[in-house]
A = this chain, B = another copy of it.
């Protein structure tokens, strides 16, 4: 009997292989009612059952070879077949974009259809009917959101998108070589197909220095899974989550800060916000990515192209630059006036507690924006305009560029310019807020006596970070359609940092045990020319490395914290875990793919070594406490910084980014000034050096 996880993972695998084909490498079968077969296959239904069903020669061959008996999922017919016309206008093999409001609407309705099913098994039946009739990414997205939000499918982990649509993450040139390797070489002899580090440009393009960041598979998976956990539209209880608007602001602000820090380290200047949509876009980007569903490429943007209004009837999509230009002044006016106006005319203050959250939903825009007509849909529509710069009217039948996909947008340099423009709007609101008071920043109970880091190996260097290239492998068999059975490994090279520990000596003057929160940030010192950054610049570029609750006994406490426990990141296995592991019900492979990839915890830095200020603070738990229980070492609770906690409020009452989310009081000229008055804060100078060597990840 198939487990619930197996049933759903079989539905999610090999998206464009019809459901009647065996799944899980030939060991999982769906016994479908005849009328569930699509029009192409129903006339030859019996023939297909004989050849691909659980009793076919091929399947007995597999069970003999693998010793795994066939598992059959019997799909029950439905009294009434659901009307799917709200979504079938998006063709099965065409592109799907969450930035397209009409695609989002169709996804929202499909999610609702899945959420409304009385029980998980009926959901399996309905999904089995819908699957081969619908656009594949649309089906995957809606089913994944439903699995994440239905109470009765909590145990079902959502496989990483990498394993469902590898074509959104890897060089398509690798896929044809995987096809050759898989067709010719026996599984045990197969070699992983290497994905080159630089396949979108040479170093004659300065921006290519940031390709390691923009094209990192983990970073793009994080972005996809964030928008999966925090959908901008869909049924209200799926969208309305605690401080989701603020999370939209904070997650993007942090990835921009990380991006900018490494631009400086690679000798590249400040991100120029895309403030004028009518100017030619200087940066080019040639994604190379290919949608294997219809062999259509994500079109390149050539140097100096100019955006024009999008009017694509086939996509039911119409976006005017003038619309964005009319929404923006109203958002700025709301910020400068200190309040926004809801669609029932109520003034909603953009204050220090909820202001940024309200603004986040307004700007993204999410379905819970307080006034969708007045403030429009700035961020999403910017993505659309940029995504179709090469075919704004659909005249040339091209699909969107990478800016049109949540899983691909971060690959494009323009993503950062557009999001910097959005980020500046948030910062405009933050700039109106008063600096934190002494009371808010101090913690009279403690003194942070010492702060240092140490590489986590015998005699590891102190206050010294090391980064390098790591070559890892991942088996993508679940996402390659109509390929040979067995493994389909690729190897890819990504940034990695040597594991380290923080060592903090905290002296607690409280008479009894107390809990406090340790917050750790990294602040850059210099720009790309080696010139010192102002404190204001440094504050805005402070990147959160970790924040965790610490139990303090009275007196001296020696806290040692592993870098791998960061509340910002998720471990490599969670980013890249594959469906097979999930099928084996392996708890460790619990899939919440949302979380900054651990291998990108630290900026890359460079070979000369980059100096940073490591900042630590022990903040008062009484002000932090959001009365929520979570266990960092279980399930998805280990990456709340960017992803919050599933079905619970954000675990800290403070503003996200505290204490650096607010301007400092006037006298503060440097980070040393900022720290000086507070015993519960401390700085350490750390040097980050990049070693330009490739080290193979140990395959366990």
**Contact residues of A with B, CB < 8 Å?**
16-18, 21, 40-41, 44, 47-48, 51-52, 93, 172-173, 175-177, 179-180, 183-186, 189, 191, 198-202, 204-205, 284, 286, 288, 290, 292-297, 299-300, 302, 305, 390-391, 393-398, 481-482
Contacts and interface: CB of A to CB of B under 8 A. Distances in A.
A295 B176 contact: yes
A93 B398 CA distance: 25
Contacts of A21: 184
A633 B17 CA distance: 49
A211 to B, nearest CB: 11
25 contacts: A17-B180, A21-B184, A40-B191, A44-B185, A47-B186, A93-B176, A172-B294, A172-B296, A173-B296, A180-B481, A180-B482, A183-B482, A200-B396, A201-B396, A202-B395, A202-B396, A202-B397, A204-B395, A286-B396, A288-B397, A299-B300, A300-B390, A300-B398, A302-B302, A302-B305
Contact of A391 (B176, B177, B286, B395): B286
Contact of A202 (B176, B305, B394, B481): B394
Contacts of A47: 186, 189
The prevalent SS among residues of A at the interface is loop
A180 B300 contact: no
Contacts of A286: 299, 391, 396-398
A38 to B, nearest CB: 11
B180 A396 contact: no
Give me the 9 closest cross-chain CB pairs, A-B, nearest first.
Answer: A172-B295, A286-B396, A297-B297, A173-B294, A183-B482, A204-B395, A201-B396, A179-B482, A205-B395
Contact of A295 (B52, B173, B189): B173
Contacts of A300: 299, 390, 396, 398
B296 A41 contact: no
A17 B184 CA distance: 9
A114 to B, nearest CB: 25
Q: How many copies does the complex hold?
A: 2
Contacts of A299: 286, 300
Given A294-B176, A295-B172, A44 B396 contact: no
A284 B305 CA distance: 14
Given A180-B16, A184-B41, A302-B305, A396 B284 contact: yes
A290 B295 contact: yes
Contact of A93 (B173, B200, B205, B295): B173
Contacts of A390: 300, 302
A16 B176 CA distance: 10
A91 to B, nearest CB: 10
A21 B185 CA distance: 11
Interface centre among A198, A299, A300, A481 (most CB of B within 10 A): A300
Contacts of A201: 395-397
A456 to B, nearest CB: 38
A297 B290 contact: yes
Given A202-B395, A205-B395, A290 B290 contact: yes
Contacts of A284: 396
Nearest to A396: B286
Given A44-B185, A176-B481, A201-B395, 17 more contacts: A16-B176, A48-B184, A172-B294, A172-B296, A173-B296, A176-B292, A180-B481, A183-B482, A200-B396, A205-B395, A286-B299, A286-B396, A286-B397, A290-B297, A300-B390, A300-B396, A302-B302
A293 B174 CA distance: 10
A396 B295 CA distance: 20
Contacts of A17: 180, 183
A626 to B, nearest CB: 47
Nearest to A167: B295
A657 B489 CA distance: 59
A202 B172 CA distance: 27
Contact of A397 (B180, B186, B200): B200
Contacts of A393: 204
A18 B181 CA distance: 11
A296 B173 CA distance: 7
Nearest to A185: B44
Given A47-B189, A299-B300, A18 B184 contact: yes
A191 B39 CA distance: 13
Nearest to A484: B482
A31 to B, nearest CB: 17
Nearest to A176: B295
A199 B290 contact: no
Contacts of A293: 176
A44 B204 contact: no
A46 to B, nearest CB: 11
A525 B348 CA distance: 73
Contacts of A391: 286
A54 B242 CA distance: 66
B290 A396 contact: no
B397 A199 contact: yes
A173 B95 CA distance: 12
Nearest to A395: B204
A18 B296 CA distance: 27
Nearest to A205: B395
